[in-house]
Amino acid sequence: MKRLYLILVLLFFAPNIYGGFQNDLNLSGLSYFDYSRGVYVGDQASFYKLVNELGVAVAPKLLSPATTLGQAGFELGLETSITPINANASYWKRSVEGGRPSDTLTIGSFRLRKGFPYSFEVGTSVSYIFLSQMFLGGVELKWAVNEGFYYLPDLGLRLAINRLFNAKDLDLTNGGLDTIISKTFGVGGFLQLTPYFAYTYLTVVTSRRTINATPWDSRDNGGSTNYPNDQFTFDSKWQWNHRFLFGLKIKGHIVTTYYEFALAPDAVNTHSFKIAADF
């Protein structure tokens, strides 16, 4: 066990020695030297494109129909999402360690959901972005406006927020309001199929941050005020996106599986999967 722990520690901290994982951010590349002013300037347009794609890729996944788990319901789930990105775009190549981002952003998550009276449900999740040292923490609140009627579809609303952690040079929070419609059908007395559709009004928020344009230069000590011309900033920004979700829940006697496709016309699309057990 001690050896396994040591291996995990080395795998996590070794990139700090060699420059980071493939998808770790290094936004010093999103700058250029303005000779007329004698300072480094941030490429705001490229930064906004990067944040828009990254923010939508790491946005909260729905992976549940409009219904809640019920007053005594409790669900534990393992999730993964795969998001193809524009890896050949200059704003991605200039923003990651080594200049070679992966073609997709893959995220693994552990998620917990708990039902409450009056058709409410709360949840929380912890996620890891593969090939990076970045993590996500999320919370959510769902309310089923209508659920359980035989002839009517189920309707629900969900508010979810994610926060990105351990991201060099970037302070990012995102969240969305989902409007969900779903309907459950029995199959052979041993399966339940629940297709669902949702619309998300999604926002990506980045806060103002000072970045060192020349981190390789030991003289500025990582952005010291002795070399102020090597520092630049990106402005705070709120970006809004429309996201459309198409999903299917398959419930058996022991486990429940989910598939979801997220379409964001102005950003990136995502395929998500979940396997869960509810009590």
Q: Encode pLDDT of 187-215 as tens digits.
A: 877 899 999 999 999 999 998 888 887 77
**Domain 22-278, what architecture?**
Beta Barrel (2.40)
CA–CA separation, 30 vs 177, rounded Å?
A: 31
pLDDT at 151: 85
**Radius of gyration in angstroms for the set of CA atoms belonging to the chain, rounded to a whole number:** 21
222-131-198 Cα angle (round to 5)? 110
Question: DSSP of the chain, one letter per residue?
Answer: -HHHHHHHHHHHHHHHHHT--TT-B-GGGSEEEETTTTEEEE-HHHHHHHHHHHHHHTSPP--S-SS---TT-EEEEEEEEEEE--TTSHHHHTTBGGG---SEEEEEEEEEEEEETTTEEEEEEEEEETTSS-EEEEEEEEEEEE---SSS-EEEEEEEEEEEES-TT--EEEEEEEEEEE--EEETTTEEEEEEEEEEEEEEEE--EEEES-TT-GGGTTT-TTSGGGEEEE--EEEEEEEEEEEEEEE-SS-EEEEEEEE-TTS--EEEEEEEEE-
CA–CA separation, 230 vs 54, rounded Å?
A: 26
Low-confidence ranges of the chain (pLDDT < 50): 1-2, 4-19, 222-225
Amino acid at 171: D
Q: The pTM is what?
A: 0.86
pLDDT at 278: 87
pLDDT at 217: 62
| Per-residue exposure over 96-109, b if at least 16 CB sit within 10 Å of its own CB, e if not | bbeeebbebbbbeb
pLDDT at 45: 92
pLDDT at 35: 84
Domain boundaries, the chain: 22-278
pLDDT at 230: 79
Q: Provide the terminal-to-terminal Cα distance of the chain, rounded to the nearest Å.
A: 31
CA–CA separation, 264 vs 267, rounded Å?
A: 5
pLDDT at 220: 53
pLDDT at 57: 96
Instruction: Give the burial class of 47: count Cβ atoms within 10 A of its Cβ; 0-12 exposed, 13-18 middle, 19 or more buried.
Output: buried
pLDDT at 107: 97
